[in-house]
Structure 1
């Protein structure tokens, strides 16, 4: 009998640590080629809910070599697999600074490793681990990754160049090269 997969939504969050959408072993701390990201759990209630479902929620620890001015507050997070090689790959959308929604495929999703991210919304499937019954991993089903342009003072100024209706000079003769 088919059992419906349980889904978990994590809205208005961010990534923590390096992302590895590309599956590049050099981007992973342990040299893994698995496409994976670490998503911050925004509330303690959601973290407790995930733990009750069998998901291992991790938390950051203070650096012993650093002195903190205020009491250290740990950040809760969970690893999420992004299996683009699946029969049903996740729908990963890149929301550009102009608000355009781009659906990423296995070849283009790796570009998300190199953008500044403002916001992440995620729906993930709970998948039971084969070797550890009762423990579950999260696999991305739908993910929206919003690019941050706040730190780019020129983004708005040059946004018109990305638009198809931008006034771009096209040579009349293909042999007419400006240099």
Structure 2
């Protein structure tokens, strides 16, 4: 019997720690080649909702070697697997600084590891863990990753070069020699 998969939406959030969209073992703390990101849970209500669904929500801990001026407030997050080798890979969209929406494929998704991220919206499927019945993991279904250019003082100045008419990769006249 087919049961509809339950989905969870986490809107207007960010990543915490290094992302591993590329599946590069050197980018993972434990050397895993799994494409995975850690998504911050923005509200306590969402934390409670995920816990009620059986998702293990993690939290940051204070650094014992650091002195805090104010009381430490933990950040809640969940790991989300981005399985690009699936029969139905997730739709991961890169929203550029100009607002263009680019669908990332298996060859291009690794570039998201190297951009400055402004905002993230995720719809994830709940998948029950094989070895822990009643416990669920999150697998990305749809993800929007918005690139941040605010700290870039030259982004606006050189934005005109991103226009198609200013593209210098292809000469306008194919008989022209580029040198």
TM bin, normalised by shorter chain, reads over 0.9
Distance in 2 between the 1:163 and 1:87 partners? Answer: 36
Distance in 1 between the 2:76 and 2:111 partners? Answer: 26
Question: Quick one: structure 1 residues 141 and 172, their matched pair in 2 at CA, closer, same or farther if it must change by over 3 Å?
Answer: closer
TM-score, with structure 1 as normaliser:
0.95
Distance in 2 between the 1:173 and 1:55 partners? Answer: 57
1:156 Cα offset (Å): 1.2
Deviations 1:67-108 (A, max 9, x none): 111111000000000000000000000000000000000110
Question: Quick one: structure 1 residues 62 and 159, their matched pair in 2 at CA, closer, same or farther if it must change by over 3 Å?
Answer: same
Q: Which residue of 2 aligns with 1:70?
A: 70
Q: Which residue of 2 aligns with 1:81?
A: 81
Greater than 4 Å deviation, 4+ residue runs: 171-175
SS of structure 1 residue aligned to 2:80: strand
- Aligned-residue RMSD, C-alpha: 1.5
1:171 Cα offset (Å): 7.0
Distance in 1 between the 2:100 and 2:177 partners? Answer: 33
SS of structure 2 residue aligned to 1:130: coil
SS of structure 2 residue aligned to 1:165: helix
Question: Quick one: structure 1 residues 22 and 167, their matched pair in 2 at CA, closer, same or farther if it must change by over 3 Å?
Answer: closer
Q: Which residue of 2 aligns with 1:176?
A: 177
Aligned length: 178
1:170 Cα offset (Å): 3.4
1:157 Cα offset (Å): 1.2
Q: Which residue of 1 aligns with 2:56?
A: 56
Deviations 1:107-163 (A, max 9, x none): 100000000000000000000001110000000000000000001111111112122
Where does the alignment leave 5 or more consecutive residues of structure 1 unmatched? Answer: none
Where does the alignment leave 5 or more consecutive residues of structure 2 unmatched? Answer: none
SS of structure 2 residue aligned to 1:156: coil
Q: Which residue of 2 aligns with 1:23?
A: 23
